[in-house]
Structure 1
Amino acid sequence: MPSPAPLDRRGFLTRSVQFGSLALASGLAVAACSRTEAGTGAPKDDGELLARLRERGFVRVGFAGEAPYGFQDGDTLAGEAPTLHREVFKALGVAELRPTLTEFGTLIPGLLADRFDVVSAGMSITPERCAKVLFSEPEFVSATALMVPEGNPKGLTDFRSCAAKGATVGVLTAAVEASYAKAAGVPEGAVKTLAKQQDGLDALLAGRIDAFALTAISLRWLARTNRRAAVEVGAPFTPEIDGVRQFSAGGAVFRPGAAALRDAFDRELAKITGSPARYVRLIGRYGFTEREVPPRTLRTAGLCAA
């Protein structure tokens, strides 16, 4: 941190007063630095971050426009994550979510750069992401699925079948499905990255990919909003990496220094996931059922260590 700038001598009558004021200015500057995260300038969660959000009256949330997890519906921020997060923050005394739309791959960098306070995008909890940010406890679980052309001409059922039949697989940018496909033996050159869900369906219809991989709930929503498209969604499956089954569990995302805020969030979230009826009442409209309620035994610490 730079040293304080020299003080203007017009404000001081004696040398001793000048030194005293320099010391005071230095102390205030150090105190200000202690309230921000090193290297980012983002506010540090010193236990008062929630209080500051309450005073401000809103929480800034980042989302990526991926239905049904977080998307804009007219003037409303809609989807699974914003709906749950709105309920949680309301219980915490923060009335409003103020959204920022960004690409999925820039959600974590934007969070770390203090563009928003929390990511509301149904982001999967993975060890790689856990090394950079803090996740809430899981707010949903969902199996993986493949969207394929109608009739499934190549008989694709999972990533292993894609590898065996030389299929080209579409995945979203920065999504976990790319690692699942490669672990199952799909060559890197056969994994095509797409920016948005609709891009995946369009690429499938154009024959640029043979399958589009995403969570089953996302693909069901995509098929539902493209009813006339000649595609189908296969049966859900659970991918494996090195023999370990990969559960697609997602949660809210916080900066590394925001542990107290995350913990307060988790306490309110548990009241929702602990009541399947309330959970479905809140987000059933987006295709979430009791099957997507995370079991109590599925914890973020385990998912981060997997």
Structure 2
Amino acid sequence: MPQHKALPRRGFLTRTAMLGGAVLAPGLVTACSRTQVGTGAPADDGELLAKLRRQGYVRIGFAGEAPYGFKDGNQLAGEAPTLHREIFSALGVGDMRPTLTDFGALIPGLLADRFDVVSAGMAITPERCAKVAFSEPEFVSPTALMVPKGNPKGLSDLKSVAAADITVGVLTAAVEATYAKGAGVADSSVKSLAKQQDGLDALVAGRIDAFALTGISLRWLAKTNTGALVDVLDPFVPLLNGKPQYSPGGAVFRPGATALRDAFNQELAKITGDPGHYVTLIGKYGFTEREVPPTTLRTTDLCAA
């Protein structure tokens, strides 16, 4: 797929994002260790994947955030679980056992060995890379604003929020809080919300003036709240320290689970390398070829940005 199709309205990739390489998260256990420090989980010189194959299931942590990972009736659904189900099946692990938790509790739960992988479309950031090991990007998605119908404040991006001195909602522990601060929005003007629906409800009730999230999430939220008097504005690329933030997301593993992460990446590359298959798998959740990450966008660079 031509790379210019993968990142509409995102400008050009940063110079570092054009480099290749494999990610090595800080704090990896040594090869001679048999368990991960603090969890007792298997040290991953291949042991963890072997264990998952023997038991026939992998424990999945998700946060109930559509369209990334959520329950549809009794079924685990969304972008991440759908991709991960195909990947783990290819790795010989046929079942996924989900644990629902708040978004901000996903990384602590992973590190505490409550689950083996986070399937939540979590954004890859240097701060998170210091704690956990990310897969290569599963998707790219720029940021957008949801606003009251008609966009009465005349907003366009987070800089316009800062200039208007109004209140913007973000999900607790999500990257949009950092983006807002980088755009000059005062801490007192950023309201944290536990769930996507809380953001739309707060907007409709007038408790916030805008809700910031990835454009694909906001479009899904508007679609599932037919009749809500809101608009989703055109996506934009936030800047942090002058660098564009493309909001790529991926699967999350414990720092020592590099062998499992690497096996996962091999199967993920087969999916992202076939845009038609990618869209067949997760198109129903609003993902298109525009969300396919280019091969030049690497986790090792995102973690070092």
1 CA distance for matches of 2:259 and 2:63? 25
What's 2:179 paired with?
180
What's 2:36 paired with?
37
The Cα of 1:251 is off from its aligned counterpart by 0.2
What's 2:101 paired with?
102
2 CA distance for matches of 1:42 and 1:208? 44
Residue 248 of structure 2: SS of its match in structure 1? strand
2 CA distance for matches of 1:52 and 1:40? 16
Residue 212 of structure 2: SS of its match in structure 1? strand
The Cα of 1:258 is off from its aligned counterpart by 0.3
The Cα of 1:138 is off from its aligned counterpart by 0.2
Stretches of structure 1 that go unaligned for 5 or more consecutive residues are 1-32
What's 2:137 paired with?
138
Residue 132 of structure 1: SS of its match in structure 2? coil
Identity of aligned residues (%): 77
Higher helix fraction: Structure 1 or Structure 2? 1
Asked if 1:119 is matched to 2:118, the reply is: yes
Matches within 5 A, 1:1-306: 34-306=33-305
Amino acid paired to 2:262: D
Q: Point out 4+ residue stretches in structure 1 off by more than 4 angstroms.
A: none
Amino acid paired to 1:258: A
Amino acid paired to 1:46: D
Q: Are the counterparts in 1 of residues 218 and 232 from structure 2 also a CA contact under 8 Å?
A: yes
User: What does the per-residue CA deviation read over 1:30-66, in whole Å, with 9 as the maximum and x for residues that have no partner?
Assistant: xxx9421112222221212111101100000000000
Residue 140 of structure 2: SS of its match in structure 1? strand
Q: TM-score, normalised by structure 2?
A: 0.89
User: What does the per-residue CA deviation read over 1:61-80, in whole Å, with 9 as the maximum and x for residues that have no partner?
Assistant: 00000000000001100000
User: What does the per-residue CA deviation read over 1:267-305, in whole Å, with 9 as the maximum and x for residues that have no partner?
Assistant: 000000000000000000000000000000000011001
Q: TM-score, normalised by structure 1?
A: 0.89
- Equivalent pairs, count: 274
Q: Are the counterparts in 1 of residues 38 and 112 from structure 2 also a CA contact under 8 Å?
A: no
2 CA distance for matches of 1:303 and 1:253? 14
Bigger-Rg structure (1/2): 1
CA RMSD across the alignment: 0.9
Higher relative contact order (CA 8 A, sep 6+): 2
User: What does the per-residue CA deviation read over 1:166-196, in whole Å, with 9 as the maximum and x for residues that have no partner?
Assistant: 1100000000000000110000000000000
